[in-house]
Amino acid sequence: MHLWLDHLKAVVVTSPSANVKHGLKMAPSHAFRCCKRALNWVPVLFINLVVGWSYYAYVVELCVYTIPNNAERISYLVIFHIFLAMFIWAYWKTIWSKPANPSKAFSLPRAEKELYEREERAEAQQEILKKVARNLPVYTRTTGGAIRYCDFCQVIKPDRCHHCSTCEMCVLKMDHHCPWVNNCVGFSNYKYFVLFLSYASLYCVVICATVIQYFIKFWTKQLPDTHAKFHILFLFFVAALFFISIVSLLGYHLWLVGKNRTTIEAFRAPFFTNGPDKNGFSLGFSRNVAEVFGDQAKYWFFPVFSSQGDGHSFVTRLVQIDPEQANGVLQQNGKGPADGEANPHVLSNNVQHTEDGSKEKMNGGQTVSVTIEKEQ
């Protein structure tokens, strides 16, 4: 593919006519985009073909032609279809959930944008960004301490937001771009993605657990060689291999949920004004889980949106507090407090400890006090 692109670029460069160059340059670019978008669906098509074949092998070849007992056949079909339905539901919710991107509040105002585009000095551009960022709930920086700004989307990046070159947009709380769902996994669909992995693992477990006795009977020649033999033997092997690969990925993402990290943050710690902190967003295990799955357990196992927050701002832990011990850390994130909740204030790294377990800081004559509760 890259050689094909290089060849097209060479044709554009060597063409004598400027109009011809422009036409050739635009046409391949549009054609390449269309081909790329079509090819991006190949992994999704592969998964659906595998699932479609597994459905045929299990329902027709196993349940219809191989299992002799009606009670066993019906119980297998009911269990199989329950987990299949949850798996498909979570999978397609992950695929069709549009990645959430920054709101217009993170775009530069017209005057500042014109100044930023005219300015050639990086230092002066940073001063413009800092001026705008004062009114935004942005507390992470680049490794050099600069305001994170996306030149492609022309927005100040909210905390945990990153630009996806495949989706060509900034994605809120971006975890990674997954080719198997042809979508970015981030704030809008991370819960769906974890549920997709969970139900895919359980789907494979159900297949292996119910097929294994017939797999052994075919393998040991206790059942005659029929057209079902190949499907059942292959179904067991495929389900077992998929389970091993999926459950390892699921375990990793459950660990990330417990630590309140994204895949990007696991490889590169978020950088705050006081330096990098890999546990910067961790609030303790229960709070971390609630941030992804919500605070109502009845919604945890269904692919419906229940994640906390808006994806633009996140509660951050106090650097002095062990994230696994902290139950609540309040920080002003650009949103008003909930009903009956104390008004949170921004806390920096130089918070003073007091004897009653609260934190105080003098900021321009104003005293900020926040009490930290520990998990039981």
- Tokens encoding 267: 């490889």
Whole-angstrom CA distances from 217 to 67, 68, 150, 230, 252 are 12, 14, 60, 13, 36
> Which one, of 296, 264, 290, lies nearest residue 278 by Cα?
264
C-beta separation of 197 from 181 below 8 A: no
C-beta separation of 110 from 118 below 8 A: no
- Tokens encoding 352: 């003073």
Rounded Cα gap, residues 72 and 16, in angstroms:
75
Rounded Cα gap, residues 50 and 98, in angstroms:
25
Inter-helix orientation angle 18-39/2-14, to 10°: 170
Rounded Cα gap, residues 154 and 113, in angstroms:
9
Contacts of 174 (CB under 8 A, 6+ apart): 99, 160, 161, 162, 164, 184, 185, 186, 262, 264
Query: Is 178 marked active-site?
Result: yes
Amino acid at 374: K
- Tokens encoding 105: 């509040």
How many other β-carbons are positioned within 10 Å of the β-carbon of residue 99? 21
Helix or strand holding residue 150 (H, E): strand 149-150
Backbone angles phi, psi at 359, to 5 degrees: -120, 135
* Selected catalytic residue, list 161, 164, 170, 178: 178
Catalytic center residues = 178
